[in-house]
Structure 1
């Protein structure tokens, strides 16, 4: 069995390791245009902020490790075309310029995503950089050493984490986003207000509800960002406006969403049963709605990559879908969310209600305790839980993993009130705060 794997980040690495282990007789070839594999881009802000001292620690595999498993690693090779009917690949060696052709029995598309680069006047000026891969991380670190005024465009997780890192680094930081508040896709306003206040306390400029119209420069370097509402001086700009699936090689050959995300079934097969896909190149089943959605997360990627291997020869293990569960730590706050928010539910035309509680994490007779704000969102007609958000200065984010399991299993808000959780004063109260949300809904 000849298996071709295109791209080797999170999903690709998981797929390759498991394929090599499960099918040692298979002839596995990886085509990767970079010189590395498995880079944890979610660690870029930690690297920039000095928490992760060595960027090499942000890799969890290497071309050498995969080659030692019997995999043919075609590093610095760009795939130019794929013919899924003829099962043929054409690729180019980026070092020598040589073109090669190959065939496959099974194709694994783990090409990931790439940052969206908006067509803004002046965007090709120096010191306007992306934040995605290992080389971007090193580029940002290098340029940040000299930068005094740094602008981050895009207030999602990556952008917000970078703002914190640059502020701690001592730079004058501006955060620009077209939405009226940060982290709009992940958290409702009562949560994002807290984080915005933390940024303002530290003199971070929040330029929200405005879009960039132009970059101006001096001597080829960016010097100013022009938006629909103002002008901001900058000697370094980081673009974090989102990602798009990297799937052009299969255009017209498999089913995709409108944004190019490949649609896969529960066994990671595309509409062509010999073509599998996983990770940021894919649309995944979103359990709160039951529909396919584009949710690029490393957690989804490694699960899907592993399932590609498990199902490569015959359908064996189903993908259970995702809740889009994610977490974030900004300054003293730990926060996490899963499923839909009230904001996103409106966009999805879902009829939902929410319960919000503020409760201390431990009994008040303990020497210390901290407030927790928990919000649980559920369908009004069925009481099925479809989302939750939490924030606190103590780390209670694992509670969101519990809710994520509940969403996956169809737990109702009433049932949440009576789920069995332990009690011990060092950790919680007799009625766990998750129970309390369910009980308040009943009341």
Structure 2
């Protein structure tokens, strides 16, 4: 069995490793446009902030390691076309410019995503960069050394983490977003208010509810960012507006969403026989809203890539869907969320939405130290099912949200969560878990 894998970051690496383990006699060939694989872009801000001293530590696999288990890894090779009828692909060697064809029995599409880059006036000026891969990371580190005024456009997780990292490095940092809150897709206002206060206290300039119009520069070098409401000095701009599926290669050839995300079934199969897809180029089943959405996360990618290995020959193990669970640390605040926020639920579903918020100390007040935590549950008043949750505290209680993810996946109700058994030990918690307390309050 000959398997060709196009693209090899998180989903591709997981697929390759699992296919080789289950089918050791298979011939696996990887075509990757970059000269590296398995780069954890979520760690770029840690590198900028010097929590991690070298960018190279953000790799967890290598072409050499895959070759050592019998996988043929072709770096700097771009796939130009796919002929699904003939099970053939056209490939260009980017080092030699040679173009050739290859054939497959099974095809794995792990094409990933790419940053959204609007066609801004002045967008070609020097020192306007992206934040996605290893080359971007090195570019950001290099250019930031001489930058005094750093502007980050996009206040999702990546933008927010970069803003903190640059502020810690003593840069004049501005964070711009068209929404009126940071991280608006992941957290409700009472949580983003706390995070925004942290940034303001540290001197980060939050420019919210403003849209970037253009960039201005002198002698080809960036000097200013112009929004619809103001202008800001800039030596370095990092675009973190969002991601889109990198699926031009299969446009019009596979079933996709309007944004290009490949539609797959619960076994990672596409609309073409013997063609599988996983990761940021695909849709995911979003359990809280009972629909499919585009949610590019590394956690989804590695699970989906693993499932390709399990289902390559015969449908064996189903994809369970996702809750879009995520976490972030902003200065002293540990934050996590899963499922639907109250705002997103009200705007994108027909559920009868309600929510409840509890604030309590994380462990008994007779202990030498304790910290306050805020936990929110979002649920459907009709079905009683829990649809989402968020937590914030100065100590790490984010694992509550992983528990809540399981609760949502298993379609538990407020009543069931209220009486679910959790341990009590004064070093760690109170007799009623925060999750119990929130559910009890909802009752």
> Normalising by the residue count of structure 1, what TM-score does the alignment of the two structures yield?
0.99
What CA distance in whole angstroms lies between the structure 1 residues aligned with 2:59 and 2:247? Answer: 24
What is the SS of the residue equivalent to 2:15? helix
Q: Deviations over 1:177-234 (max 9, x none)?
A: 0000100000000000011111111111111101100100011111000000100000
The reply on whether 1:216 has 2:222 as its aligned counterpart is no
CA distance in 1, matches of 2:387, 2:342: 10
1:85 corresponding residue in structure 2: 85
Distance (whole Å) between structure 1 residues aligned to residue 312 and residue 208 of structure 2: 46
Alignment correspondent of 1:421: 422
Aligned partners of 2:410 and 2:348: how far apart in 1? 21
Report the Cα distance in structure 2 between the residues aligned to 1:3 and 1:284, rounded to whole angstroms.
Answer: 23
Superposition deviation, residue 347 in structure 1:
1.9
Provide the rounded CA distance (Å) in 2 between the counterparts of 1:428 and 1:343: 30
5 Å matches for 1:222-261?
222-261=222-261
Match of 1:124 in 2: 124
Distance 2:52 2:85 in 1: 45
Equivalent runs, 1:4-403 vs 2, <5 Å: 4-349=4-349, 350-403=351-404
The question of whether the paired residues in 2 share the 8 Å contact of 1:361 and 1:369 is answered with yes
- Asked whether the 8 Å contact 1:345–1:351 carries over to 2, the reply is no
- Moved >2 Å (runs of 4+): none
Distance 1:437 1:347 in 2: 23
How far did 1:273 drift? 3.0
Inter-partner Cα distance in structure 2 for 1:437 and 1:258:
38
Alignment deviations for residues 372-408 of structure 1 (CA, whole Å, 9 cap, x no partner): 0000001111010010000000100000000000000
2:436 alignment partner in structure 1: 435
How many correspondences in the alignment? 442
Paired with 1:433 and 1:18, the residues of 2 have a C-alpha distance of 38
Take 1:328 and 1:206, find their aligned partners in 2: how far apart are those partners?
18
Please state whether the residue corresponding to 2:13 is helix, strand or coil: helix
Does structure 2 retain, via aligned residues, the 8 Å contact 1:87–1:105? yes
The 2-side partners of 1:179 and 1:336 are apart by: 20
Shift of 1:366: 0.7
Structure 2 residue runs without a partner (length 5+): none
Structure 2: how far apart are the matches of 1:35 and 1:404? 36
Q: Secondary structure at the match of 1:336?
A: strand
Q: In 2, Cα distance between the equivalents of 1:283 and 1:296?
A: 9
- Distance in 2 between residues matched to 1:426 and 1:393, nearest whole Å: 16
Q: Which stretch of structure 1 is more off in the superposition, 350-359 or 6-15?
A: 350-359
Distance, in Å, in 1 between the alignment partners of 2:381 and 2:164 is: 38
- State the alpha-carbon separation in 1 of the partners of residues 347 and 418 from structure 2: 28
Distance of 2:240 and 2:165 partners within structure 1: 14
CA positional deviation for 1:54: 1.7
2:347 & 2:240 partners in 1: Cα distance? 22
Q: CA RMSD in A?
A: 0.7
Looking at structure 1, the residues matched to 160 and 191 of structure 2 have their Cα atoms a distance apart, in angstroms, of 14
Q: Secondary structure at the match of 1:378?
A: strand
SS in structure 1 of the partner of residue 253 of structure 2: coil
Q: Which residue of 1 aligns with 2:413?
A: 412
* Gap runs ≥5 in structure 1: none
